[in-house]
Structure 1
């Protein structure tokens, strides 16, 4: 995908993976990337740093709580008014906290779903959009059960199923939109630094599991992200990233029903 002139939104982009995804888009020549996050100071600092490196106003910050539907709607209105049609949507915002599963589902699933719905309306060619790509960030916990994070698993399984179901929609794909999902294992971000006591059940066993699986580098995950964005055939692709096995891509096998 040629990124020159493209407009992108990345949620949860004040730090961690979202920040890394934003920087990769800027490096590749995206015209404008909107850093959307609930963390105002971190988000403004990130945009300021990017401005010094990549040019003033190529990255902008918009405060957005993805669990608040109005915040998301206002985000899309602001981006369209300032920069025109959206080309890339990255639903990255997420938390891991088994002690507050309701909030986690609101952010990890419902916020991501609303962001996807809004991105579809912004991109679809029959309503003035230019088409584009929607990358939803799930987790390896969206592909296999994890005993210490059952609610987190549920939210990420939902992300995988939701994204692949949209990829099956020939009507939407024919309007120029493709869908991909990222499933990284443990990654060196703030969520990990919080410690297993904060985010997982059975923390002692969870720590052993983390040691066994290993910790991804942020750079490796952002490499996988860019490959999904670049590949025009990535509709329905799942990217898995693990410290032991690196990056792997699996293309979803569409059902016969999707061809009806």
Structure 2
């Protein structure tokens, strides 16, 4: 199974650029997780013609956030959101269940330039952790998406612990979460590789690895590949992908 995750910074915008169609037109990806779709969640016809079913959770606020999962395999069930109004209204998570695993598409909030949303962000993180641990009693889990957190100094081109995504609180949560039996597969396979998944449009020197594919421990032996597709343009993020044996 090949999976792709990408914060597209607006589905309509990325479609106009043709970047998503070119990527999906390769036929490589069985499941595609999109974040920050900023729209109603309607699937463009050109993508529908590639054989994907689409499941989305748009934000209530127009032009904001939202997630969409595309799959070539019909899911057993779909869970939209976390069941918590303040988070689900922002369109931040959708889960598809297959016979042997769950795939979670997540768009974590940004803590805000002044860290005014840090507490909201941490509450979301804790709610996601509880949700995933409950699912894990049933089946293994893959969670991919934009976490808006850089794990360590290797994951950022700059270091300021008052910057959103670099605060000790955010990094501590992510690293503690991983210790509970979850694996950052890119870092597992590329322990010393310095690569970024987001770069500021205005300050090109600012870049961070904040997009992840994370698997529960039970799937460790099935992971074949994990890559950052640094050459794909169209968003301020680049896609990340993983391949698992079936």
Compare the two structures and name the one with the higher helix fraction. 1
> Which has more radius of gyration?
1
Higher relative contact order (CA 8 A, sep 6+): 2
TM-score (norm 1): 0.44
Compare the two structures and name the one with the higher strand fraction. 2
